[in-house]
Amino acid sequence: MSSSIKKRISRFAGQPNKEKYYMITLPLIGQLGKNYSNNYNSLISGDDLLKLACDKVREAQNILGGKFAFVECEDINELKEFYESNGFVCFGKRNLEKDEKEQNNGNYLLQMLCDLSNE
């Protein structure tokens, strides 16, 4: 994560017990996916689908406040590159819960952050 993003986050985040990390509450864009049966995937691009989700988060933030959103995804190059090409940066990993291991490959999910105020 760039130092400018870290600086922006620090304005909105708490630093519990003067630790080296920040705690910030962000909306999670969850379960983003496309239906590949019957060629429905050709109706909308992944970029457009993610933009629609970010637009909805931005609408909510206009009312509630905030500037960032995040997603979690499997550590797969294609997924990581997709989110990075849409303005997200990786900021951490979250270990999978027991019940999540059946649905995901690996033992963790990448956590990726986007500054929605730049779009």
Q: What is the pLDDT of residues 23-51, one digit of tens each?
A: 778 888 987 877 778 887 888 888 999 99
Q: What is the spatial distance between Cα 35 and Cα 38, in angstroms, rounded to a whole number?
A: 8
Q: What average pLDDT is seen over the chain?
A: 85
The tokens 């909308």 sit on which residue?
Answer: 44
Provide mean pLDDT across the span 68-94: 93
Indicate the domain borders of the chain. Answer: 3-118
Q: Does position 2 have pLDDT exceeding 90, yes or no?
A: no
Instruction: Enter the CATH code of domain 3-118.
Output: 3.40.630.30
Contact 42, 33 (CB under 8 A): no
